[in-house]
Chains A and B, each alone.
Chain A
Amino acid sequence: MRRRLSGWWWAALGAVGLPHDRWLSVPRLTRRAVKTAIWLGIGLALVAAFGVWKTAALAVAAVVALLVVPAWNRLPYGRFFVPLAVIGIVVAYPYYLGSLPQLPVFGPFPQISTMVVMMIFTMMALGLNFVVGYAGLLDLGYVAFYAMGAYMAGWFASNQFAKQHLNLGAVGLYPGWSGYHITIWLVLLMAGIATAIIGVLIGLPTLRLRGDYLAIVTLGFGEIMPQIARNGDNLFGTGFNLTNGTGGITPIDGPGFGNWAQAHLHLPANYLNASNFDSLYLWTSIVLVGITVFCSMRLRDSRVGRAWIAIREDETAAAAMGIPLMRTKTWAYATGAFFGGVAGAYYASYKSGAFPDDFFFNISVFILCMVILGGMGNIWGVIFGACFLAYLDREGLANVGAWINGHFHTNLNVPLYEFGIYGVIIVVVMLFRPEGLIPSQRRAAELHEGVHDDPLYEAETAGA
């Protein structure tokens, strides 16, 4: 337990930009004083925010949790308790959101719609984590997979193709509908598969490249997709309207289980007609994130996961061990693409539209920031990074801005500086804690000691 606590403490130090070796060189008494002051400050802030009684209750709960959690872990299946508790807290979020108080500086807790977006971005970040975190391949065009997924939803769950007429379990269709309408559940799967195929097609010619070259090619790919979306209303001059150009494809069907399921199983027939619309989307996205986390863990510990780590550590050695480089890298790429596609399709269904302006380079960087901030290769770190940055994007920065303007009588439009702020966060993280806030052990070691990354297929000058 002590080790875990000190891990969080180091994470906090890293967050404020102090590496722990430098921290340890401070005299012991000063360190104790600073720690005490920080805990006192946190306590006082909590008292100011919640009042004495709620703070006391929180403190008791925290102490009980810290004492009980290590004991849990020793029980059979004990390691599932904490994740289950977290899932429970998130699932119940819509029920207690109304009774949550305001936070200092950050203001109210995120709305349910923001929580949905946070979950969707978590899924995308976990997808990118396969490529960047596990296999160590820098992908600057991940938004292309998100776009592909969104347009899959646009094509197969809207009126886009007016000459077609197909209904496969879709809910909430208006009279006079046209086009393909496949139930969103199937479309999610189709989007994932189609995007994974695109990932393989892109990966096969490009994954021979290493490092910077791969980053540049993926960057180009990420630029091509939104351009196709933007200009796809007259595909190659044939007059075929694939993407409806700058207008985007809208509306897109919502998810739902149909009238039979509502009558017999009490499942919502159509999310869009439900009064707790946002909550339904939140719970569904929690399921999707859960599936992604499960796949992440299983794949990480599998044969191919080991091969990804080996390639990340030393590509030449991996090849000499008989690891098929291209196939293994392509697997990472396709897996990452799959989850990006599913998340994109789900997001399109939530927003009820796929618009080319949503798919620009900044989204690729945004998702990459989530992975880097949280800790490349660590599932919990990536989840944290994704939730935090998505929250800042949707609500956090605006709230902080309002607080700043209210207290300092300024007139700043803080969300306007969004990417500048992310840039500063990333630079600070890279300087003081390059492995991210909650790093994977192995990744941290690599970043501090460096990896062997000699070229494999290029000319070498010595030792032939």
Chain B
Amino acid sequence: MSATAEPLLKLDGVQTYYGSIQALKGISIEVHEGEIVTLIGANGAGKSTTLRSINGLNHPRHGTIRFRGRDITQTAAHDVVRMGIAQSPEGRKLFPRMTVVENLEMGAFQRKDRHALPEDMERVFTLFPRLAERRNQKAGTMSGGEQQMCAIGRALMARPTLLMLDEPSMGLAPIFVQRIFDTIVEVNKQGTSILLVEQNALMALEVANRGYVLETGKVAMADDAKALAQNDDVKRTYLGEI
């Protein structure tokens, strides 16, 4: 990895609770500048909760989260977005009655440089030509794959330094899954670091630089993506090979 002094994002012993239920039992992960990092694991392992801890929707009770050298452990969700972390949430969560363009505009809500929006919107439309065709369609009436494109495009409209994607392949046809992952690589090449949460471990490890395996709120394994894909335990549990 590049020799930057501090990682872009660093979680240290993060413990997050839903009420009295402890969902994260001390998560420590890092994302470096320019990387794609993936979190894989079974349902309930704490993948989405990790993202919610980072973006300020569920503040951790213990541990610290640092982003570009600043402590964001208790930072409010809207300030986290302003600092450069955007997310495409699980289940896409588009504004179904707004058009594609309106959804994309909402993604840029925190940005002050309004004049640069058309340019960024063009960039999203270049990444997803399908969205350009549907720019005035209500988001709720599009197919799952198109909605996922819109959700990723909406997150990109915030011009994030770090893009967090929660289950981008969920419920999509295989052809769309391939296209979404191609786009993730493309976005990363353009200079955005990516934290990718996926159940589709095979695809995720293929595009990622490094990966973390979460099990019941803890990091069970951390390694290069290639090495993880070759690991027997990972193969057995997450890649469906025996």
Q: Which residues of A contact B (CB under 8 A)?
A: 303, 306-307, 309-310, 313-314, 316-325, 442, 445-446, 449, 451-452, 456-460, 462-464
Contacts and interface: CB of A to CB of B under 8 A. Distances in A.
A322 B96 contact: no
Interface of B: 18-19, 21, 23, 43-44, 46, 48-49, 55, 57-58, 76-78, 80-82, 86-87, 89-90, 93-98, 102, 105-107, 109-110, 138, 140, 154, 158
A453 to B, nearest CB: 11
A323 B43 contact: no
Contacts of B98: 309-310, 313, 442
A144 to B, nearest CB: 29
A229 to B, nearest CB: 37
A457 B158 CA distance: 24
A320 B97 contact: no
A323 B109 contact: yes
4 closest A-B pairs by beta carbon, nearest first, are A322-B81, A322-B110, A317-B93, A459-B18
A160 to B, nearest CB: 43
A445 B81 contact: no
B96 to A, nearest CB: 7
B106 A306 contact: yes
A152 B43 CA distance: 57
24 contacts: A303-B109, A310-B95, A310-B98, A313-B96, A314-B94, A316-B93, A317-B94, A318-B106, A320-B81, A320-B93, A321-B106, A322-B78, A322-B82, A322-B110, A322-B158, A323-B106, A324-B76, A445-B138, A452-B96, A459-B19, A464-B18, A464-B46, A464-B48, A464-B49
B43 A446 contact: no
Contacts of A456: 57
Nearest to B81: A322
Contacts of A442: 97-98
Contacts of B19: 458-459
Contacts of A449: 96, 140
B95 A314 contact: yes
A323 B93 CA distance: 14
Contact of A463 (B48, B77, B86, B140): B48
Contacts of B96: 313-314, 449, 451-452
B35 to A, nearest CB: 22
B78 A464 contact: no
Contacts of B87: 320
Contact of A322 (B23, B77, B89, B105): B77
B97 A319 contact: no
Contacts of B107: 321
A258 B225 CA distance: 81
A310 B97 contact: no
A149 B184 CA distance: 55
A179 to B, nearest CB: 45
Nearest to B23: A464
A456 B77 CA distance: 12
Contacts of A319: 57, 77-78
A9 to B, nearest CB: 24
B97 A446 contact: yes
Contacts of A445: 97, 138
A321 B48 contact: no
B101 to A, nearest CB: 12
Contacts of A310: 95, 98, 106, 109
Given A459-B18, A463-B43, A320 B77 contact: yes
A402 to B, nearest CB: 45
A458 B87 CA distance: 20
Given A313-B95, A313-B97, A460-B18, A324 B43 contact: no
Contacts of B93: 314, 316-317, 320, 452
Nearest to B52: A464
Contacts of A303: 109
